[in-house]
Amino acid sequence: MDKRYAIHPEHAKTFTTEQLRGQFLVQDLFVPNEVKLCYTLEDRVVIGGIYPVNEPVELKGYNEIKADYFLQRREIGIFNVGGSGSVRVDGEVYALNPKDCLYVGLGSRELIFESDASEQPAKFYIASAPAHKTYPTQKQEFKTVPAEELGSPETANSRVLRRYIHEDGIQSCQLVMGMTALNAGSVWNSMPTHTHDRRMEVYFYFELDENARMFHMMGEPTETRHIVMKNEEAVISPPWSIHCGAATSNYTFIWAMAGENYTYKDMDAVAMDELR
């Protein structure tokens, strides 16, 4: 399990490109038949990739979180970003088609990930946060999740936002998760930008052409920096940081938040004039 510290904004200002990448960028999430995890001390969120190509893969407890099983003190949101597959939770099998999401609450012991076919393996992107009570395990299919149209082609940010785990959807202790898809020709996400000092956030970019690059923006509004990212990489946004980006073609991303509150719309908009 990779580990990242929480970073002070005064420290982040001084980082070189390599230091920024080392602290905030998460690469190589999908290794065949393995679990790859990154534990950030920003709100103690764990993100990761689970890629069962030709055998089932189990998510277990880890010494880093001193847990006998992964969900001993946590909850988890699981998105399938590959071919069809399933997750077995304490003997119950949940089929996950592409872009379906499964939430599993505190206390479930067994989490086994499997692909339906090794020629088109499932890819599971996960985000997990500490939890204080058990909310029921719940699946949200892509085809029935409400879709919200945002932006416009004129401003190159025409996109469709879908909330899966949130106040009016799948219930959780503190995890809020969803997916935003950029329409063809649009490249900007989350612009005008925002911060939310109450919650950290992680963006996981996928469906980005292998030769395309994402220029992800971060930093305090008056001290912006960028990180150049490839397909299927994630980036940690501390609560004080903006998080938005433009890529050289369209893409989809999964956003995950955890922290003080649970209100999706609690965002502090950043005026264009403030940005430096």
Does 162 participate in binding ligand D54 (rule CB under 6 A)? no
For the chain, the distance separating the N- and C-terminal CA atoms, rounded to the nearest angstrom, is 35
Whether residue 11 is annotated as binding a ligand: the answer is: no
Q: Looking at 22-30, 55-63, 136-144, 188-196, which segment touches ligand D54 (CB under 6 A)?
A: 188-196
Nearer to ligand D54, 59 or 244 (CB): 244
243 annotated as ligand-binding: yes
201 is in an annotated binding site: yes
Number of residues that bind ligand D54 (CB under 6 A): 11
* Per CB under 6 A, 216 contacts ligand D54: no
Residues 206, 194: contact at Cβ < 8 Å?
Answer: no
196: annotated binding-site residue? yes
Q: Is 23 in the site for ligand D54 (CB under 6 A)?
A: no
Q: How many residues bind Zn ion (CB under 5 A)?
A: 1
Under the binding rule (CB under 6 A), the answer on residue 161 touching ligand D54 is yes
Between 198 and 237, how does the x/- string for binding to Zn ion read (CB under 5 A)? ---x------------------------------------
Residue number with CB closer to ligand D54 (95 or 150): 150
Residue 172 lies near ligand D54 (rule: CB under 6 A): no
- The mark string for 196-215 relative to ligand D54 (x by CB under 6 A, - otherwise) is x----x--------------
- Per DSSP, the residues of the chain read -EEE----HHHHTT--HHHHHHHHEE-----TTEEEEEEETTTTEEEEEEE-SSS-EE----GGGT-SSGGGSEEEEEEE-SSSEEEEETTEEEEE-TT-EEEE-TT---EEEEES-TTS---EEEEEEE-SSPPPPEEE-GGGS-EEEES-GGGT--EEEEEEESTTSB--SS-EEEEEEEPTT--EES-S-EE-TTEEEEEEEES--TT--EEEEES-TTS-EEEEE-TTEEEEE-TTS--EEEESS--EEEEEEEES---TT--EEPPGGG--
267 binds ligand D54 (CB under 6 A): yes
- Taking CB under 6 A as the criterion, the residue among 40, 140, 190, 195 binding ligand D54 is 190
Binding-site ranges for Zn ion (CB under 5 A): 201
Binding-site ranges for ligand D54 (CB under 6 A): 159, 161, 178, 180, 189-190, 196, 201, 243, 255, 267
